[in-house]
Chain A
Amino acid sequence: MTNNKKLSTEGLNLYFSEKHILKDVAIGIPQNKITALIGPSGCGKTTLLRTFNRLHDLLDYVKITGKVMIDDTNIYDPKISAVEIRKRIGMVFQKPNPFPKNIYDNIAYGLKVNNTDPYRIPQLVEQSLRESFLWDEVKDELKKPAIQLSGGQQQRLCIARAVALRPEVILMDEPCSALDPFSSLKIEDLIRELRKSYTVVIVTHNMQQAQRLSDYTAFMYLGQLIEFGTTKEIFNNPQHDLTKNYVTGHFG
């Protein structure tokens, strides 16, 4: 792995109150690649994603030790504001969480808080809706409450909202779990598109999807990073028994 590391952690530990959730995680996520994060439910995938954009800051019972870097910047450097970090790192949540606004404003909001030129907003909204394959379905009802969209449409809206800002990194927490296979494939196309200019980290429970989509795969288990390598290596020649059992479906 000779790629540049976009995101990296060293000796990362995370505690929810007394509960030790992430255990000594060291990972280097390559730039302009798609990295899949796999592992059984509750192993800490979401928790790891959220350390990258400092979303844990919102909770007062979280303790984090170790190093988390984006390029050469320490994400948890007290001199760096979380807002600056989050502008560089977009996120799509596990559960679709559109704002209680209409479809258009859901995307325009992020553009506005990032000081986008107001004249460009309509065009960027359309572009991001096209990129997330939602445009044809909503172009006539952009003023409709986002909450009235189907679950899968809501998730695509959340993807559009994130990509509209052109962040350097996009974190996706099971973006396809609410989608039918056809839309999932479309989202995968989008993610492949994104790779050209972004670094993508995607959590998925779908092994086929991880293999189709990702360049690298990280396998987590009980808060530890068990194995990290190219997707080919992880799926065809895993070094660790746990990884082997998991990717072949003989788990538990």
Chain B
Amino acid sequence: MDFHQRQKTDNIFRKIFKIAGLLIIGILGGIFLMLMYNSIAFFLHFKPADFLTDTQWNPGNTSHAEFGILPLLVSTCLVTAGAMILAIPLGICTAAFLSEFASKRLQTILKPIIEMLAAIPSVAIGFLGIVIVGPGIAKLFGIQSGLNALNGSVLLAIMSLPTIITVAEDAIHAVPLSYREGSYALGANRWATLFKITLPAALPGLIAAIMLGMGRALGETMTVLMATGNVAAFPKGFLNSVKTITATIAIEMGEVPYQTTHYFALFAIAAVLFIITLAVNLLGESAINKVRKFQ
């Protein structure tokens, strides 16, 4: 290939990558604009203050429809928080065990199993919630139905575990051996080395793992729709049925008449979810940057 030909192929490839990049930005921007456009349409019909402070989500009431996001928002946060309380310690301990203590053989068995867990479709996990976890919870706490926030949390924890474990294990594994050697040489035992040196050194990666897991839990729809009972009221605790933002959109979008206030309202709550996910990501990012200074 002579010089000009090479320059030509260079240019073509540069254009292809540029187009691909622009396309992605375009799609993201398009989604954002669509959400915003429809949300604005909603707020022309419904006061933003009421949207944020009303304690009822009651769109079916034709004479006096209410679109208060609070019960849905609280439901989403409750289920996600519960999932993270379960999944973060479990995930990080598993990752630490895998990377620091498990034998090579155990690793080669466990890792693919954990990755397979990620491949289970969310509908199947939802089934698990209805058939096993739900009745189990009902029996354990002596309540009528196990379709509640706790059920959703357990299932979402299961679903976010593979992500958390895989990313956290990579992060722990990437900690240079020289840090560990330095710690052992000072007479530290393996626990002090793990908790005071290795895990702190892996912290940016661990935060990333948690953020990804949390993103997974926040956005998951089918499982919570099947397992949490879908009652759009303020939950008093983990044993109440809840209706998350995602489940609300999935359930109601199919039935709502086009371009009604209710229709636009669903875009507005989607926009709120979008903002929360964005905030979680930005917070994680800034935490990672703060920790990175030390490595």
Interface residues of A (CB under 8 A from B): 53, 55, 58, 82-84, 86-87, 90-91, 93, 95, 97-102, 109-110, 113-114, 145-147, 158, 161-162, 165
Expressed in whole angstroms, the Cα–Cα distance for A110 and B197 within the complex equals: 11
Expressed in whole angstroms, the Cα–Cα distance for A57 and B196 within the complex equals: 20
Q: Which of B178, B181, B185, B295 contacts A147 (CB 8 A)?
A: B295
* Distance of A17 from chain B, by nearest CB (Å): 14
Interface residues of B (CB under 8 A from A): 176-189, 192, 196-197, 200-201, 293-295
Minimal Cβ-Cβ distance residue in A for B179? A99
- Cβ contact within 8 Å between A101 and B200: yes
Q: Please give, as numbers and ranges, the residues of chain A lying within 8 Å of B187 by CB-CB distance.
A: 83-84, 86-87, 110, 113-114, 165
* Distance of B295 from chain A, by nearest CB (Å): 4
- Cβ contact within 8 Å between B179 and A97: yes
Q: A99-B201, A113-B192, A145-B293 are in contact. Are A90 and B186 (CB under 8 A)?
A: yes
Q: Please give, as numbers and ranges, the residues of chain A lying within 8 Å of B295 by CB-CB distance.
A: 100, 145, 147
Q: Please give, as numbers and ranges, the residues of chain B lying within 8 Å of A98 by CB-CB distance.
A: 182
* Distance of B59 from chain A, by nearest CB (Å): 52
Q: Which of B176, B180, B186 contacts A58 (CB 8 A)?
A: B180
Expressed in whole angstroms, the Cα–Cα distance for A83 and B187 within the complex equals: 5
Minimal Cβ-Cβ distance residue in A for B192? A113
Query: Could you list 23 examples of A-B contacts with CB < 8 Å?
Result: A55-B181, A58-B181, A82-B184, A90-B185, A90-B186, A97-B176, A97-B179, A97-B182, A99-B183, A100-B201, A100-B295, A102-B294, A109-B183, A109-B186, A109-B188, A110-B187, A110-B188, A113-B187, A113-B192, A161-B182, A162-B185, A162-B186, A165-B187
- Cβ contact within 8 Å between B184 and A58: yes
Q: Please give, as numbers and ranges, the residues of chain B lying within 8 Å of A83 by CB-CB distance.
A: 187-189
- Cβ contact within 8 Å between A99 and B197: yes
Most B-side CB within 10 Å, residue of A95, A97, A165:
A97
Expressed in whole angstroms, the Cα–Cα distance for A162 and B180 within the complex equals: 15
Expressed in whole angstroms, the Cα–Cα distance for A190 and B181 within the complex equals: 24
Q: Please give, as numbers and ranges, the residues of chain A lying within 8 Å of B294 by CB-CB distance.
A: 100-102, 145-147
Q: Please give, as numbers and ranges, the residues of chain B lying within 8 Å of A58 by CB-CB distance.
A: 177, 180-181, 184
* Distance of B40 from chain A, by nearest CB (Å): 46
* Distance of B18 from chain A, by nearest CB (Å): 37
Minimal Cβ-Cβ distance residue in A for B180? A58
If A99-B179, A113-B188, A113-B192 are given as contacts, then 4 extra A-B residue pairs at C-beta distance below 8 Å, sorted by A number, are A90-B185, A97-B179, A100-B179, A147-B295
Expressed in whole angstroms, the Cα–Cα distance for A145 and B293 within the complex equals: 7
* Distance of B111 from chain A, by nearest CB (Å): 18
Q: A100-B294, A101-B200, A147-B294 are in contact. Are A113 and B181 (CB under 8 A)?
A: no
- Cβ contact within 8 Å between A86 and B182: no
Expressed in whole angstroms, the Cα–Cα distance for A250 and B187 within the complex equals: 41
Q: Please give, as numbers and ranges, the residues of chain B lying within 8 Å of A113 by CB-CB distance.
A: 183, 186-189, 192, 196
Q: Which of A55, A84, A95, A100 contacts B185 (CB 8 A)?
A: A55
- Cβ contact within 8 Å between B178 and A86: no
* Distance of A176 from chain B, by nearest CB (Å): 18
Minimal Cβ-Cβ distance residue in A for B181? A55
Q: A58-B184, A109-B196, A113-B186 are in contact. Are A97 and B201 (CB under 8 A)?
A: no
The 6 closest A-B pairs by CB, nearest first: A87-B187, A110-B186, A97-B178, A100-B295, A113-B188, A91-B185
Q: Please give, as numbers and ranges, the residues of chain B lying within 8 Å of A109 by CB-CB distance.
A: 183, 186, 188, 196-197
Most A-side CB within 10 Å, residue of B182, B184, B192, B293:
B182
Minimal Cβ-Cβ distance residue in A for B197? A99
Q: Please give, as numbers and ranges, the residues of chain B lying within 8 Å of A102 by CB-CB distance.
A: 294
Minimal Cβ-Cβ distance residue in B for A59? B177
Q: Please give, as numbers and ranges, the residues of chain B lying within 8 Å of A165 by CB-CB distance.
A: 186-187
* Distance of A174 from chain B, by nearest CB (Å): 15
Q: Please give, as numbers and ranges, the residues of chain A lying within 8 Å of B177 by CB-CB distance.
A: 58
Expressed in whole angstroms, the Cα–Cα distance for A109 and B186 within the complex equals: 9
* Distance of A27 from chain B, by nearest CB (Å): 20
- Cβ contact within 8 Å between A97 and B181: yes
Expressed in whole angstroms, the Cα–Cα distance for A113 and B197 within the complex equals: 12
- Cβ contact within 8 Å between B186 and A86: yes
Q: A83-B187, A83-B188 are in contact. Are A100 and B200 (CB under 8 A)?
A: yes
Q: Please give, as numbers and ranges, the residues of chain A lying within 8 Å of B180 by CB-CB distance.
A: 58
Expressed in whole angstroms, the Cα–Cα distance for A91 and B189 within the complex equals: 16
Expressed in whole angstroms, the Cα–Cα distance for A58 and B198 within the complex equals: 14
Expressed in whole angstroms, the Cα–Cα distance for A109 and B192 within the complex equals: 10
Q: Please give, as numbers and ranges, the residues of chain A lying within 8 Å of B183 by CB-CB distance.
A: 99, 109, 113
- Cβ contact within 8 Å between B185 and A53: yes
- Cβ contact within 8 Å between A55 and B184: yes
